[in-house]
Structure 1
Amino acid sequence: MTVQHEHSSDLQRNLTNRHLQLIAIGGAIGTGLFMGSGKTISLAGPSILFIYMIIGTMIFFLMRALGELLLSNLNYKSFVDMAYDLLGPGVGFYVGWTYWIGWVLVGMADLTAVVSYLTFWLPPGATFSPVDQAMISAGCVLFLFVLNLLTVKLFGEVEFWFAIIKIVAIIALVLIGIYMVATSFQSPNGTVASVSNIWNHGGMFPHGMSGFLAGFQIAIFAFMGVELVGTTAAETKDPEKNLPKAINSIPIRVILFYVLSLVVVMSVTPWTEVKADRSPFVELFLMAGIPTAAIIMNLVVLSSVMSSMNSGVFSTSRMMFGLAKDGQAPKVLSFLTRNGVPANGLIFSCACIMGGSLLQYFVPNTIEAFTLAGTLCTILFLSVWIIILVCYIRYRKLRPELHAKSKFKMPGGIAMCYAVIIFFLFTIGILSLEDDTRKSLMVSPIWLIVLAIGYYGFYKPKLKGQSDNKQF
């Protein structure tokens, strides 16, 4: 199924400030927080609070570097263009395809989360069969495909309301949790809500430094997608005004949505009672004896997963459009509908995300499948983030006059870039500490082999004998 008529040659700037702000927030509140935090708490205990603050700080500097780069040249449609321009076609090829496959893997991880959340509605002890899991996954992908096929603005609207649901739910959880702590609420199992529950069960580092380091593995996945504002830059009205607003609000979001919400969760429910394969947000209300609120929160986390998948479907289709326009993918994938939607890229990306249905069939253990897909995409995203920072260092060397004129300079400059790069490399190294994440780390070089074959076998020969017409 392909679209054969090209109605427009480029993406349209149909996303407004409110769309961009909520897309940025949606990228900061994803499956990693709602589902992955259960496993992270079981690994790191209360030190998860420090983990999220550290990662959030590093992400903020990454986004400031990305923001300055995008605003230095509005002809950049995304960070693929930056990599191509500043580091060469080989790096641009790697970034485009790696970011694309990374979001495909995010989509697969999200499909496992959907199945996990839906088991909430089954009788105790009941599970979905592998066939049921695959059917549910396929249905989710088809639903989001239809939504994204219509218009770019509809994507923004859907993401806007998904994000509103998540924000309202987390604020409600924080307020209810504060009330439960203030009134010393006692759950049916005898637990009394108190802030002291955070440190009364082995201190802030109950599993020592090894547990603290292991917590970074899943926590970093929670931030996958925060760079989505860089992908939407080509479809955003007035980027000089709206992009800085979205990026500068990251620290506030991290404190409110990650740190404060988990402080509440671990105050009401001691971290020792948090189940690794469950959402602690849903479990909080169940353990507190409020099943109706638990049902509502389960619906919220389901909407959160659909929001994350919606972002993934949007991002992969746009990245495929860019790759096709540059000759790095079949030309047919660059066709747009009259509404400015890269329909063929959308179809191809959704078909690949549908591979998550096969993952559900062959790895029916949802938390195992989630960790496998989540860790692999974390490795790929970290490599893209590192390249963004290298682009910034190169930009400072090649175009100091643009940096001097910039009204949105990266705090800390080149020195901070190196610090963040070291942190991301350190995070990749941590993935070797646990058996389940080590498996993903060991298979990740296969992607480098595939890309090397694609670049040297197909793309590079196209570049030989012709001048580079790509203008920025």
Structure 2
Amino acid sequence: MEFWLALIKVVTIVGLIVAGLVILVFGLETSTQTTPSIANLWRHGGFFPNGWSGFLYAVPVAAFTFAGVEVIGLVAAETAEPQRTLPRAINSIIWRMAIFYLGSMAVIMALYPWNQIDTTQSPFVMVFDSIGLGVAAGFINFVVITALASSCNTGLFATSRMLFALSHIQQAPRGLQVLSPRKVPARCLMVSTAILLVGVLLNYMIPERIFSLLITGILGLLIWVWVVIITSHMVYRRKVQRDGLPQVAYRLPWARLSSVLVLCFLGALTVLVIRDPETRPAFYVATLWFGLLLLLYPKRRQPAAVLEA
């Protein structure tokens, strides 16, 4: 099912890019106020018409859109040949970002200068409307629904597997170790679904605030998760070299430098989150949550240590 949900998104974005390129290459007439042109990318004030501050404050929100990319590691663990599929999946992220993210943004900006984009309307709808597809709004709404379903599907997969792994190391209730006849962690899946439904309830209770609350809350937790992943990788590399352990087949290029650069970027991202009043609660949420975890973790870890001894 995930394949078909993702395919709908891919086809839509590719359709937008192709339609935009056809308009630009052949000079087709559109309903836009400005003539479509590649030059629209640097006209109307340039790339930073309002200075660097607007760009910098948009970085945390842009980083939020990459939440979930770390799920690749969980998915690879359940594939038949992770040594082959994991490198392919990770290496493809770069060109996928270039095509689907940067490519679609460039096409939209070439057709619609930044100061002519209606913030109350989807840019995708605007592009399709400009070429005479009046039913674009309904179709984009359908695509958004499938994208949400795909995101929920991925989230449920990741959280259920993490709960299952935590239960095996006694960091979660042992009852979550039960598998269904199809070898699926059913109880973990039900717990994850129940927590997910809390978001649906909040959407009805505080619809005007739920989106901003989710963004700020998840952003703070996301930064911490990425810091933990990078730090764990650095510690792992140190132990491999120190203890003479066998090297893995797929290695990170320039691992020492790239890991430090990522940590510096995440540090700068944290500063931006703290400085912006709208995203500052994310820092407080993450600090409170992980502070609580640090207090509770030793108590949960002690029985496991006694058992291993």
Query: If the length of structure 1 is used for normalisation, what is the TM-score?
Result: 0.61
Is residue 2:48 matched to residue 1:200? no
Please show how residues 375-386 of structure 1 align to structure 2 within 5 Å: 375-386=216-227
Quote the sequence identity (%).
35
Given residue 268 of structure 2, which amino acid in structure 1 is its aligned partner?
A: F
Given residue 257 of structure 2, which amino acid in structure 1 is its aligned partner?
A: A
1:389 to 224, 230, 233: 230
Paired with 1:284 and 1:437, the residues of 2 have a C-alpha distance of 30
CA 1:271–1:185 in structure 2 vs 1: closer, same or farther (change >3 Å)?
A: farther
Cα drift, residue 371 of structure 1: 2.8
The answer for unaligned runs of 5 or more in structure 1 is 1-157
Given residue 142 of structure 2, which amino acid in structure 1 is its aligned partner?
A: L
1:425 to 267, 284, 301: 267
Paired with 1:261 and 1:429, the residues of 2 have a C-alpha distance of 29
Please show how residues 340-355 of structure 1 align to structure 2 within 5 Å: 340-355=183-198
Give 2:136's aligned residue.
Answer: 293
3-state secondary structure, aligned to 1:202:
coil
Cα drift, residue 163 of structure 1: 1.5
Paired with 2:53 and 2:28, the residues of 1 have a C-alpha distance of 33
Do the aligned partners of 2:71 and 2:158 also contact (CA within 8 Å) in 1?
yes
CA 1:260–1:189 in structure 2 vs 1: closer, same or farther (change >3 Å)?
A: closer
Please show how residues 28-39 of structure 1 align to structure 2 within 5 Å: none
| Greater relative CO, 1 or 2 (CA 8 Å, sep 6+) | 1
The answer for unaligned runs of 5 or more in structure 2 is none
Paired with 1:324 and 1:339, the residues of 2 have a C-alpha distance of 19
Do the aligned partners of 2:117 and 2:123 also contact (CA within 8 Å) in 1?
yes
CA 1:277–1:293 in structure 2 vs 1: closer, same or farther (change >3 Å)?
A: closer
1:269 to 81, 88, 112: 112
Is residue 2:66 matched to residue 1:216? no
1:328 to 163, 171, 188: 171
Cα drift, residue 416 of structure 1: 1.7
Give 2:288's aligned residue.
Answer: 446
RMSD over equivalenced CA pairs, Å:
2.0
2:13 to 158, 167, 170: 170
Do the aligned partners of 2:17 and 2:103 also contact (CA within 8 Å) in 1?
yes
Paired with 2:180 and 2:162, the residues of 1 have a C-alpha distance of 16
Please show how residues 121-270 of structure 1 align to structure 2 within 5 Å: 158-188=1-31, 190-270=33-113
1:406 to 241, 248, 259: 248
Cα drift, residue 274 of structure 1: 2.9
Do the aligned partners of 1:372 and 1:436 also contact (CA within 8 Å) in 2?
no
CA 1:264–1:386 in structure 2 vs 1: closer, same or farther (change >3 Å)?
A: same
Given residue 373 of structure 1, which amino acid in structure 2 is its aligned partner?
A: L
Given residue 175 of structure 1, which amino acid in structure 2 is its aligned partner?
A: V
Paired with 1:262 and 1:379, the residues of 2 have a C-alpha distance of 26
Paired with 2:307 and 2:185, the residues of 1 have a C-alpha distance of 27
Given residue 273 of structure 1, which amino acid in structure 2 is its aligned partner?
A: Q
Give CA deviations for 1:169-227 in whole Å, capped at 9, x if unaligned.
Answer: 11111000111223434443533222222222211011211111111111111111111
Paired with 1:371 and 1:221, the residues of 2 have a C-alpha distance of 12
Give CA deviations for 1:290-313 in whole Å, capped at 9, x if unaligned.
Answer: 222343233222211211111011
Paired with 2:126 and 2:150, the residues of 1 have a C-alpha distance of 21
3-state secondary structure, aligned to 2:274:
coil
Deviates more, 1:160-169 or 1:345-354: 160-169
Give CA deviations for 1:4-33 in whole Å, capped at 9, x if unaligned.
Answer: xxxxxxxxxxxxxxxxxxxxxxxxxxxxxx
Is residue 2:284 matched to residue 1:455? no
Is residue 2:199 matched to residue 1:356? yes
